[in-house]
Amino acid sequence: MRRLLLFLFLMFTTIGFSQCEVNQYIQDNYLEDAWIMVFRDFVDNPNHPDYDVPILDANKTIPYLGKLSAVYELAADNETADSLFNKLSIHANTHFPNMVVFEEIIITVPESTPWVIDFIDTGVSNVPELDMLIEDYQFNITDVAIIDPPFPPEPAVYDITIHSDISFLNPYALLDEFEAITGVDYAEVGTAKTPYNYTGIPFEIDGEEVRSGNIFLNDDTLLFSLYTGDCWYGGCTSDKNWETVISEDCSQVDIQLNTTNFNPLSYSIYPNPATDYLYLKGLPLNKASIKIYSTQGRVLKQFKNTPEKINVSTFVSGMYFISIETKGKERSIKRFIKK
């Protein structure tokens, strides 16, 4: 059983010693952005050393906060830097390039499970393993939904959403522990926040309203991006990117505006709804990576190269998302239904 050995890291966020000093404004307003970029490194990789750590060292955010601070320090004298933070207010997105969820888990429990009603009513199941997880990681029940069985007379199930009071708890690390509890059929991370995270001044690109933004860090380059289009279901278009190259010690920052043609890929999926196989049309083989997500953002299948078809026969009936990313980093998301 994992314990709360690192709890103090979340009570006292320590800046520590770093080549790049962290600005207090960035610390106060971009901490979640830094955590999103930390989580991106491991959420799709169960073999990553951080995947199984429920409470991560807060110092992992420092490299990201330091790079953001280096750009923000220019805002007083640089119009572009001022726009990125104070006018456009661009923030990291929890939906792409992969979905990131903090603090929330959904457990699926059959209605016939003896302890489920007491757990829903009181938050206590009297199952030691479950109650210890709830207590140790400060979970509370925030939502309960009952799902009728698709194939009666199978029992109905409860989808119970639990949320931790520990900021930036890593829910991916606890899924196996919840699934090991007798009576829990399935555990998955909760729902990612809306991809429509743009809160800056009204801004249009080619006559379309900007609704989403994102921040990426690649080595010493921060990329600030704005998006238009349907970023939830169909994949969004990105027309403006600001590339900031930052020296290792953060003493030099170069900002450039790049206009890219980041349009949804012209491919199709069929049949939709699908029963056994999902076919891809319009993508050359071995030219794109593919991930299939549940509606809660959990990766169910992934391929480094484009397959001819994808077996979805074992999927539960419902809606799913397929993400296609080319070697040139163009990306599109489509949804499909499994019958």
Whether residue 160 is predicted with pLDDT greater than 80 in this model: the reply is yes
pTM higher than the cut 0.75: no
Hunting for tokens 């009570």 — which residue is that?
11
- Alpha helix segments (H runs only) across 43-82: 62-72, 79-82
Q: What backbone phi and psi angles, to 5 degrees, belong to 130?
A: -70, -45
Residues 6 or more apart whose CB falls under 8 angstroms from that of 86 comprise 75
The hierarchical CATH code for the domain 268-338 is: 2.60.40.1930
Contacts of 210 (CB under 8 A, 6+ apart): 198, 200, 203, 204, 226, 227, 228
Cross-strand partners of 124: none
- SS3 category, 301: strand
- Identify each DSSP E strand in 131-251 by its residue range: 139-147, 157-164, 186-189, 204-205, 208-209, 212-218, 221-230, 235-246
Considering only residues 236 and 138, tell me which one the structure prediction assigns the higher pLDDT.
Answer: 138
Q: Which residue has the higher pLDDT, 212 or 282?
A: 212
Q: Which residue has the tokens 């992992």?
A: 60
End-to-end CA distance of the chain: 38
CATH number for 104-189: choose from 3.30.70, 3.30.450, 3.30.360, 2.20.110. 3.30.70
- Quote the radius of gyration of the chain (alpha carbons, Å): 22
Confidence of residue 97 (pLDDT cuts 50, 70, 90): confident
Task: Find the mean pLDDT for residues 92-111.
Answer: 91
pLDDT band at 165 (very low <50, low <70, confident <90, very high): very high
Give φ, ψ of 30 to 5 degrees. -130, 20
pLDDT, position 49:
93
pLDDT confidence tier of residue 299, bands split at 50, 70 and 90: confident
pLDDT digits (tens, 9 = 90+) for 49-94: 999 999 999 999 999 999 999 999 988 888 889 999 999 999 999 9
**Rounded mean pLDDT of 3-31?**
59
Q: Output the pLDDT for position 258.
A: 61
Cβ proximity of 246 and 253 under 8 Å: yes
Q: Is residue 4 pLDDT above 80, yes or no? A: no
Q: How far is CA 140 from the centre of its chain?
A: 21
Eight-state DSSP code of residue 156: P
Domain with CATH 3.30.70 in the chain: 104-189
Give the whole-number percent of the chain exceeding pLDDT 90.
Answer: 45
Q: Across the chain, how many H-helices and E-strands are there?
A: 8, 17
Whole-number average pLDDT of the chain: 83
d(CA 138, CA 54): 12
133 or 243: which carries more pLDDT confidence? 133
CB 158 within 8 A of CB 146: yes
Query: Can you name the residues that pair with 302 across neighbouring β-strands?
Result: 291
Residue 326 has what pLDDT? 63
Q: Is the pLDDT of residue 25 over 80?
A: yes
| Residue 291 identity (one-letter amino acid) | K
